[in-house]
Structure 1
Amino acid sequence: MQQTLAPLLGEARKSLLGALRSLFHALKREKLIFRDPTRGISLTTARALPRPLTDDQLAGALDRLPFIRDQLSLALAAVHALSVHDQRGLRLDDLDRHRGRLTVRRTGGIEYVIYLDDLTQNLITRWSAERHRRWPATTNPHLLVTAQTSADDTHPRIHPHAINKPLGRIGLQAGRLRTDRILDEAKHTADPVRLVQLSPTTAMRYVRAAHPTHFGRGLFIAP
């Protein structure tokens, strides 16, 4: 079986293995064979490493966003590496203006405290004033709200499109901004532990991207 797969690479090899597994699984189910020869065969997948954004992509990004909430979302992603999921979950109670801190609550009860830079703190102050001016009676506990979520008594989170669409209009994505921030952090440290706070599931990929000579290849081979 390995000899059959050996000449193929990438998707062609993956597709053939999938077809063979289906075939032998059917044969075994019909008791025409007793052993599946594809059992135990695994493939490694070459996956391109994350790449930083160019200066042209980032230049004047805040000025190209007319609304303060969208500017804040950009800063949370680009400066603090917060994902769309992170941003949607932020609550007013998570903000400590006096200490300049914001608590991010992640899946599994994990809490991560970020220390706000002057830009982000200024944007939060401006957004809070705008939020109160537009919806003074809302009881929605989330930091980011829209006209719809501010009026909904079930207190829903903001929809991902409300974050992604404005950024998309200027050629950016929250996920790409977050990746760029993590890559920038990785340039200054080769310690994955430091990056876990920013990217708890893929820290090693960013270390490899920022320090490729330490690993000898430009690709990360996933198990």
Structure 2
Amino acid sequence: MCAEPLRCVGEHLDEVDGQGPTECLVEVGGDVEVLPDPGLGQELRNVLPGEVGRARGGVVQQQPAEGRQGPGELTTVAACPALLEWSNPYDHLREVTRDDVLTYIKTLHGHQRHDQLVRLRSLFTWAKRNGLIFRNPTSRIKVGQYEYAVLQPLIPEQVDRSVAAATTPATRLILALAAGHAARVAQIANLMLDDADLGNRRLTIAGRAHPLDDLTLQLLLDWLEHRRRRWPTTANLHLLINNQTANTTSRASNHWISAPMRGQEATLERTRVDRQLEEAMGRGPDPLHLAEIFGLDEKTAMRYADSARALLEQAAEQMPESRQ
């Protein structure tokens, strides 16, 4: 078995205006390879700024399978901090243990933990497949899911500024659909005239019927009246139309739908998220209820429920003892 030196013999950064490919000279089993990797440059520099050419990480290349032509599978390992840390006590990859990997990833969280562990698994899987190590120290270490941050509700001042920015019948209705019914931009743009059942006070959004509250109903009536007066002969059956789409049968663009709220902290997307978070906090952090009301998938509903639970617990901890 050939030795596997745990070191990178150099790197060369070829940049143009701060961007460009990175070439990493890596010693693998005594052979030096130069492999380009556009994604490594900044990360390599961040490990030891000002010390170019030292051990920073590894880029390895698997040889083509027997009987096949062309380059082999390219595996990039940007796990530079881990390899640099292990290069002090160890000389070979086969000396790295499962405990070393666990100790390293305990210092990481969220996306960083996920990405680093995936890269380490890629390196050690390649090394074991090519006979460079006896056992893979990353085996049976679960990558796990991303640790999402707690969703935060909008504050009244943010909502007020968006309401003030809604100065047309169309914009006011669009904002109400996002804030009251958690409708996405594309869903609003795809609404048809027959989705509005005024007699039964219902609006069908993406196949789900929503009861219309008094405010949304009034804003809908105001828009339909404006639409009838502004484009009395249009053949477009979409609920929301503009000067460009009134003479066609196409829907309005996502850009047109969301443009009035651009620059606001309470954008349509944040307003939609806030509505779902408000439901989770008001009715209890029940993912099944959220999935039923808004048509969310299981993971998304769980995220809203977890965020609502965290916010409610935080509010309870901050409550004065006299009110508990």
TM-score, structure 1 length as denominator? 0.79
Match of residue 16, structure 1, among 110, 116, 125: 116
Q: Distance in 2 between matches of 1:30 and 1:148?
A: 61
**Native 8 Å contact 2:202 2:210 kept in 1:** yes
How much does 1:173 deviate?
1.2
The structure with the largest helix share of the pair is 1
Residues of 2 paired with 1:214 and 1:52: CA distance?
12
Alignment match, 1:188: 282
Which residues of 2 match residues 153-192 of structure 1 at below 5 A?
A: 155-190=249-284, 191-192=286-287
Deviation at 1:180, TM superposition (A): 1.2
Alignment of structure 1 residues 1-223 onto 2, 5 Å: 1=98, 3-7=100-104, 8-10=107-109, 11-24=111-124, 26-27=126-127, 38=138, 40=140, 41-59=142-160, 61-105=162-206, 111-152=207-248, 155-190=249-284, 191-196=286-291, 197-201=293-297, 202-212=300-310
Relative to structure 1, is the Cα distance of residues 211 and 22 closer, same or farther in structure 2, using a 3 angstrom cutoff? closer
Q: 1:221: which partner in 2?
A: none
**Alignment gaps of 5+ in structure 1:** 106-110, 217-223
Q: Tell me which of the two structures has the higher relative contact order, counting C-alpha pairs closer than 8 angstroms and 6 or more residues apart.
A: 1
Given that residues 166 and 175 in structure 2 are in contact (C-alpha distance below 8 angstroms), is that contact kept between their aligned partners in structure 1? no
**Which runs of no fewer than 5 residues in structure 2 stay unpaired?**
1-97, 315-324
| Matching residue's letter, 1:156 | S
Q: Find the residue that maps to 1:185 and give its secondary structure.
A: helix
> Which residue number corresponds to residue 220 of structure 1?
none
Is the alpha carbon distance of 1:3 and 1:95 closer, same or farther for their aligned partners in structure 2, counting shifts above 3 Å? same
Per the alignment, in what secondary structure is the counterpart of residue 163 of structure 2? Answer: coil
Query: Judging changes above 3 Å, is the alpha-carbon distance between structure 1 residues 204 and 18 closer, same or farther for their aligned structure 2 residues?
Result: closer
Provide, for residues 120-143 of structure 1, a one-character-per-residue CA deviation record: whole Å limited to 9, x for no partner: 111111111222222222222211
State the one-letter code of the partner of 1:209.
S
**Equivalent residues of 1:84, 1:163 under 8 A apart:** yes
2:241 & 2:269 partners in 1: Cα distance? 20
Output the CA distance in 1 between the equivalents of 2:103 and 2:250. 52
Q: 1:210 to 1:17 in 2, by over 3 A?
A: closer
Q: Give the equivalent residue in structure 2 for 1:108.
A: none
Residue pair 1:86, 1:104 contacting (<8 A) in 2 also: yes
CA distance in 1, matches of 2:213, 2:153: 22
For residue 257 of structure 2, what is the amino acid of its counterpart?
I
Query: What is the alpha-carbon root mean square deviation over aligned residues?
Result: 2.7
Instruction: Give the TM-score of the pair, scaled to structure 2.
Output: 0.57
How many Å separate the matches in 1 of 2:99 and 2:230? Answer: 65
Q: What is the letter of the counterpart of residue 113 of structure 1? A: A
Partner amino acid, structure 1, of 2:119:
A
Runs of 4+ in 1 over 4 A off after TM superposition: 24-40, 213-216
